[in-house]
Amino acid sequence: MSFFENIFVSLAEMIERYEHQDFLESVTGVCALVATANSRVELAQRVRFDQVIKLLSRLHCFEKDQVTDRFDKDIAALKKDRAVTQKAILRKVKETIESKEDKELILKVCWAMGRADGEIDRKEQEMVEVIAKELGLNLRETFESY
């Protein structure tokens, strides 16, 4: 590639990451909320998180380490001050996730995180319900259609 082609490709990659930054922050935030709902993050949840980020095409523009680091920062912030961080994550999700398809996708990601160890426990389910409410979705109605 020529010098200008390299610059163009780099610029296109930067624009793509910028366009998907809010989606990245929303996904890592809700995953951290569900993963920490019962006060501990299990290995199964970390494995599930890795699976989720591989499946979400809008996150492919980010390096895996960038996504994982963001998830880890969200977890650390939740451990430090759960109430403030939870409020910030939910506000971010509510303000940036607009389409019904994206809202349902976020909810599916939450459910997948909660079921990482085989079943969703009460606290994880409650957190998924809080996220659904913030997105303006009814959890049962959303999953009845699938």
Q: What is the CATH number of domain 3-144?
A: 1.10.3680.10
pLDDT above 70 for 52: yes
What does the alpha-carbon distance between residue 77 and residue 102 come to, in Å, rounded to a whole number?
A: 25
For 120, other C-beta atoms within 10 Å of its C-beta total 20
The tens digit of pLDDT for each residue in 111-141 reads: 999 999 888 899 999 999 999 999 999 877 7
Domain layout of the chain by residue ranges: 3-144
* Confidence (pLDDT) at 123: 95
Percent of the chain with pLDDT over 70: 86
Mean per-residue pLDDT over the chain, rounded: 88
Question: For 85-105, what is the mean pLDDT?
Answer: 95
* DSSP secondary structure code for residue 97 in this structure: -
Provide CB contacts within 8 A for 42, sequence distance 6+: 35, 116, 117
Return the closest-CA partner of residue 95 out of 23, 2, 12.
23
Higher pLDDT, 117 or 23: 23
Q: Each residue of 14-34: b (16+ CB within 10 Å) or e? A: eeeeeebeebbbbbbbbbbbb
* Confidence (pLDDT) at 20: 76
Question: For 12-31, what is the mean pLDDT?
Answer: 82
Binned at pLDDT 50, 70 and 90, residue 76 comes out as very high
Question: For 97-106, what is the mean pLDDT?
Answer: 93
pTM metric for this prediction: 0.88
